[in-house]
Each structure stands twice: as C-alpha cells, then as structure tokens.
Amino acid sequence: MLTAPLLKALNEQINHEMFSSYLYLSMAAYCEAKNFSGFAQWMRMQSSEETKHAMKLYEYVHSRGSAVTLLAIAQPPTEFHFPVKMFEQVVEHERKISGSITKLYELAIKENDYPTQVMLQWFITEQVEEEKTAVGIVEQLKMVGDSPVSIMMMDRQLGARSNG
Ligand code: FEO
C-alpha cells in the first residue's frame, strides 16, 4: 500500500498528465483550425503520449493495492501564438512537469518507498527526452524563420510523427 501523502501526490500527478494531454490536444485543435495538419498531428501524438503517462501512473497505483481518485481537469487555453511561442509554451510546460516529478521522487524518498522511486526513474528519463525534443523544435523553428515556405516545411516534418 502507498502512504497517504504519496497516494495523494500520485493522484495529482495523474491529473497533471491528463491536463498535459488536454493542453496538447487544445494546441492540436488550434493548429487543425489553421490548416497546419502536420503541427496538429505532432500535438495529437504528444497528447496521446501524455494519456499514456497518466495510465502508467494509474496502473502503478493499483498495482500497489491503492485506488486512484480522479481529479477535475482544468480547461486548457484555446488561443496560442503560432508557432514559436506555442512550442516555447510546450518547453515551459514540460519543465513544470519535470519539477513535479522531481517533487514526487523526493516524497518517495521521504516515505521510504523504494518501488515508487524505481517507477519514477522512468518518468525522470522521459522528461529529459521530452524537454530535449521540444527545445529542439523551438530551435529549428527559430532557425528556419517565419516564411510560409519554412512553416510548410516544418509542418511536413512534424506531421511525420506517428508515435504517441
Ligand atoms: Fe508526461 Fe510531457 O509529461
């Protein structure tokens, strides 16, 4: 069984992951409406990845003999500054998520919960990857500039993402 503080924090992390999924789906909808189907595809895949993160935690909580309590998911923003600022927002959001994973890890240490520490190591590695990917896209977008040809090129490149 998980300790009460750890269960509470894991439930909150599930909520953060679900909000992340919602945020990226909202970004996808925004891109879709602007007819940038490649950017939209990337965001949809990102959204689906976040749902998987939430489910990984959901399954973990149950595997420890505790029960998940789902919390309300906040409404994500619906307007974004396309495209550089939108991806800077992704970077900023992922850094916030990395921070909450770190806090969760610190709590698992405090609670002497070794299995949770081991489980969270996957998330720590994943966050490094997520931040790196988002920073890379921001840098690429800045490099190619905002000409329609460059944006179309990036749209095609990001649309090739097929895993989420
Ligand atoms: Fe699941 Fe992108 O944090």
Express each pLDDT in 67-78 by its tens digit.
999 999 999 999
Nearest Cα neighbor of 89 from 78, 75, 73, 74 is: 78
| Domain annotation covers residue 74 | yes
Rounded CA gap, 34 and 15, in Å? Answer: 29
- Whether 104 maps to a domain, the answer reads yes
Alpha-carbon distance 75 to 22, whole Å?
8
CA-98 nearest atom, ligand 1: 3
Alpha carbon distance 46, 40 (integer Å): 10
pTM (two decimals): 0.96
Ligand 1 site, CB within 6 A: 17, 20, 50, 53, 94, 97, 130
Domain CATH for 155: 1.20.1260.10
Q: Which domain, by its residues, includes 57?
A: 4-159
- The answer to the question of residue 27 being in a domain is yes
**What is d(CA 163, CA 66) in angstroms, rounded to the nearest whole number?**
30
Which pLDDT belongs to residue 27?
A: 98
Per-residue pLDDT reduced to its tens digit, 102-127: 999 999 999 999 999 999 999 999 99
Mean pLDDT over each residue of the chain, to the nearest integer: 97
Q: How far is ligand 1, taken at its centre, from the CA of residue 58, in Å?
A: 14
User: From ligand 1's centre to the CA of 98, what distance in Å?
Assistant: 8
Q: Which run of H or E residues covers position 86?
A: helix 84-110
Q: How many domains does the chain have?
A: 1
Q: Which atom of ligand 1 is nearest to the CA of 54?
A: 1
Residue 164 binned pLDDT confidence (cut-offs 50, 70, 90): confident
Residue 163: its pLDDT value, please?
84
User: Closest Cα to atom 1, ligand 1: which residue?
Assistant: 50
Q: Judge whether residue 18 has pLDDT over 90.
A: yes
pLDDT over 90 at 56, yes or no: yes
